């Protein structure tokens, strides 16, 4: 389900009024955020087979937080259930899905992740334990302590029953509901509904009712909505269900928004187990503009499959404009030589543009007036190093495969943000800082490894014919974000950052473990009015 967007031939949409826009390069950012979310989900799902000698029935569950036979279990620790429901303060404005993860085959995805030796090893180390954090006690709580009619832990109920049917994890736009996803389970079936009711009856500790949707947008059943707060081991989760769906979330606002979403049909594409999607309109002007330039204004989807004990990239899919603005070609060796091997995020395009790159020609081209216009394909790449600290400067560079366009590009990119410019390896480079430009210069000159030195399957995948490619070096990405995030928490004096960027041994060890993660490559090739997916990686 992609929210409606502008027609493919329409000019770039105006900026939404009165709204705080998200960071730049959101198309790439959304993809990376979701890939990080998949990695996070891997930790969560992988918890199901982490060893725990204290849990013989389910060796995968975290340590239990109480013993029912001792009389001091979870049931005795819970506060009393409320006498009557409270009326929910329904948000006055509806929000839209910004990006989402569709899990079509939860069983296969979970088996791939729980069987992954690397994940299981990390869950026994500070990296995995820190990620699970306070959720370990909740997931490891025994069903006997909650008075449920099955043997096992809360994890077994969540992953084995409540999330056994296809489901969607969705992040919404809007200032009050961003950052906290909702889990939507459409058409869960009677058995799953019965498990939901049993869990709710045992751990329900607050009840809210609502008789409208946020902003009045959405269908409401005759009896309205009932949202319950589940409390286990001091961790709370809001949950609700109707006759045809279940929704979970950390806040009642996202759960209610999930209940009010249109009907969701999770029909899996062939050989795809997990899919990531996004809405350009909900992500802001930058994402809208980029997808419009690409001719994929309806959004694209990143596809994955479970193979053995890992998730592998299947490619990029989605509709394209009737008059495609993407060409198909392999990436040149000059481009691969220019990009440092350690680059965390890479987006490449084979972009059709007017021969003359002036404002009038581009406006006519993007407005559909290009029938008699001379067009040339440009190889374009965006390299990005995301930072885990908002105070750190952006590290991004645009690599343009036709140096003859340098003057036109300097005019187009003449905004207030200073860009470093140079021609390297047959490409005109616009970099966000001298340090970024220097890394590219060293890669081009052979002073540091470039993408030609990457793993052979990665190089082969990048050389395949394609229209759009998205590559993530997950080890560099997640390791860098983790170190930045740790350092951002350190302060000295009145909030000043310490001058030396040193991390303790356990953080450095975790970074090195993350560095062993593979390269994930996704490719889409224009064929008529669609992108044909293809995947590669290390």
Model confidence pLDDT, tens digit, residues 355-389: 888 888 888 887 776 667 888 999 999 999 999 88
Across 213-231, average pLDDT: 92
Please tell me the predicted confidence (pLDDT) of residue 499.
53
On whether the CB atoms of residues 327 and 441 are closer than 8 A, the answer is no
Higher pLDDT, 200 or 468: 468
Pairing of β 204-210 and β 86-87 = parallel
Mind spelling out the 3-state secondary structure of 185-200?
EECCCHHHHHHHHHHH
Q: How many CB atoms lie within 10 A of CB 239?
A: 22
Give the CA radius of gyration of the chain. Answer: 25
Residue 173 in this model has a pLDDT that exceeds 90: no
Which of 15-19, 148-152, 317-321 is predicted with the least confidence, judged by mean pLDDT?
A: 15-19
pLDDT over 70 (residue 36): no
Q: What is the number of alpha carbons within 13 Å of residue 505 lying toward its C-beta? A: 0
pLDDT for res 128: 78
| Pairwise pLDDT comparison (234 vs 520), residue with the higher score | 520
Average pLDDT for residues 174-182, to the nearest whole number? 71
How many Å apart are CA 442 and CA 404, to the nearest integer? 23
Residue 58's pLDDT band (cuts 50, 70, 90): very low
20 confidence band (pLDDT: 50, 70, 90): very low
Percent of the chain predicted with pLDDT > 70: 81
Rounded Cα distance between 386 and 394, Å, is 7
Half-sphere exposure (Cβ direction) of 125: Cα atoms closer than 13 Å: 18
Q: Is the pLDDT of residue 28 over 60?
A: no
Lowest-confidence region among 28-32, 161-165, 441-445, 506-510: 28-32
What pLDDT is recorded for position 374?
86
What are the residue ranges spanned by the domains of the chain?
31-45+79-319, 320-491+501-537
Half-sphere exposure of 439 (CA within 13 A, CB side): 19
The answer to whether residue 53 scores a pLDDT higher than 60 is no
Q: Name the pLDDT band for 81 (thresholds 50, 70, 90).
A: low
Tell me which of 61 and 182 has the higher pLDDT: 182
pLDDT digits (tens, 9 = 90+) for 132-143: 777 777 778 887
The secondary structure element, H or E, covering residue 319 is strand 310-319
> What is the per-residue pLDDT for 42?
37
Average pLDDT, the chain: 80
Is residue 155 within 8 A of residue 61, CB to CB? The reply is: yes
Separation of alpha carbons 498 and 491, rounded Å: 6
Write down the pLDDT at residue 429. 96
Are 311 and 38 contacting, i.e. CB atoms less than 8 angstroms apart? yes
Helices 505-515, 474-489: inter-axial angle, 10-degree rounding:
160
Lowest mean pLDDT among 35-39, 56-60, 112-116, 157-161: 56-60
Q: pLDDT, tens digit, for every residue of 280-306?
A: 877 777 777 778 778 886 778 999 999
Rounded (10°) angle between helices 26-46 and 285-294: 100
| Least confident among 61-75, 143-157, 334-348 | 61-75
For tokens 């058995």, the residue is 191
Q: Which two tokens stand for residue 487?
A: 């350092």
Q: What is the mean pLDDT of residues 243-267?
A: 92
Q: How many C-beta atoms surround the C-beta of residue 64 within 10 A?
A: 22
% residues pLDDT > 90 (the chain): 40
What's the token pair of residue 319? 């509709």
> Residue 234 — pLDDT band, cuts 50, 70, 90?
confident
In this predicted structure, what is the pLDDT of residue 185? 95
Q: Which two tokens stand for residue 456?
A: 């052979």
pLDDT of residue 497: 53
**pLDDT at residue 21 is higher than 70:** no
At 86, list the tokens.
Answer: 């409270």
Would the pLDDT of 72 be above 70? no
Q: Longest C-alpha distance within the chain, in Å?
A: 83
Neighbouring C-beta atoms of residue 39, cutoff 10 Å: 17
- pLDDT band at 83; cut points 50, 70, 90: low
Task: Identify the pLDDT of residue 501.
Answer: 62
Q: Cα torsion at 190, 192, 195, 199 (round to 10°)?
A: -120
pLDDT at 433: 94
- pLDDT over 90 (residue 458): yes
What 3-state class would DSSP assign to 526?
Answer: strand
Tell me the three state secondary structure of residue 31: helix
Over residues 397-415, the pLDDT tens digits come to 999 999 999 998 888 887 7
Asked if the model's pLDDT at residue 209 lies above 60, the reply is: yes
- The CB density around residue 381, as the number of other CB atoms within 10 Å, is 23
């Amino acid at each position: 389900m992609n929210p409606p967007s502008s027609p493919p031939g329409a000019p770039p949409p105006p900026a939404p009024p009165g709204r705080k826009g998200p960071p730049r390069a959101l198309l790439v950012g959304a993809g990376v955020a979701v890939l990080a979310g998949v990695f996070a989900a891997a930790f969560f799902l992988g918890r199901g087979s982490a060893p725990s000698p204290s849990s013989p029935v389910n060796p995968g569950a975290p340590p239990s937080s109480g013993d029912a036979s001792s009389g001091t279990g979870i049931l005795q620790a819970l506060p009393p259930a409320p006498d009557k429901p409270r009326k929910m303060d329904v948000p006055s404005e509806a929000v839209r899905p910004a990006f989402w993860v569709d899990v079509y085959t939860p069983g296969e995805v979970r088996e791939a992740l729980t069987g992954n030796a690397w994940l299981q090893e990390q869950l026994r180390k500070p990296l995995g334990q820190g990620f699970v954090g306070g959720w370990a006690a909740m997931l490891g709580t025994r069903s006997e302590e909650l008075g449920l009619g099955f043997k096992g832990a809360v994890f077994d109920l969540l992953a084995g029953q409540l999330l056994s049917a296809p489901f969607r994890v969705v992040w919404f736009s809007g200032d009050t509901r961003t950052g906290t996803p909702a889990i939507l389970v459409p058409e869960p079936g009677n058995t799953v509904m019965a498990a939901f009711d049993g869990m709710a009856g045992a751990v329900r500790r607050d009840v809210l009712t609502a008789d409208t949707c946020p902003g009045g947008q959405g269908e409401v059943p005759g009896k309205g909505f009932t949202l319950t707060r589940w409390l286990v081991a001091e961790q709370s989760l809001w949950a609700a269900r109707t006759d045809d769906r279940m929704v979970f979330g950390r806040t009642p606002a996202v759960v209610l928004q999930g209940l009010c979403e249109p009907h969701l049909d999770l029909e899996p594409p062939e050989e795809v187990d997990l899919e990531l999607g996004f809405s350009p309109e909900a992500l802001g002007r930058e994402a809208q503009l980029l997808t419009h330039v690409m001719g994929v204004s309806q959004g694209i989807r990143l596809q994955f499959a479970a193979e053995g004990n890992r998730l592998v990239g299947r490619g990029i899919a989605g509709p394209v404009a009737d008059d495609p603005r993407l060409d198909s070609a392999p990436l040149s060796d000059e481009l691969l030589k220019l990009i440092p091997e350690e680059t965390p995020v890479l987006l490449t395009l084979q972009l059709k543009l007017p021969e003359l790159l002036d404002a009038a020609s581009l406006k006519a081209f993007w407005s559909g007036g290009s029938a008699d216009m001379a067009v040339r394909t440009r190889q374009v790449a965006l390299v990005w190093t995301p930072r885990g600290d908002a105070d750190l400067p952006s590290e991004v560079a645009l690599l343009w495969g036709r140096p003859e366009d340098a003057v036109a590009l300097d005019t187009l990119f003449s905004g207030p943000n200073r860009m470093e410019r140079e021609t390297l390896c047959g490409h005109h480079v616009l970099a966000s800082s001298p340090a970024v430009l220097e890394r590219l210069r060293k890669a081009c000159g052979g002073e540091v490894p470039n993408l030609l030195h990457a793993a052979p399957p990665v190089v082969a995948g990048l050389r395949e014919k394609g229209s759009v490619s998205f590559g993530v070096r997950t080890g560099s990405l997640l390791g860098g974000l983790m170190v930045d995030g740790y350092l951002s928490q350190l302060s000295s004096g009145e909030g000043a950052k310490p001058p030396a960027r040193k991390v303790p041994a356990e953080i450095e060890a975790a970074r090195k473990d993350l560095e062993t993660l593979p390269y994930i490559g996704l490719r889409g090739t224009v064929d008529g009015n669609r992108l044909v997916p293809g995947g590669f990686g290390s």
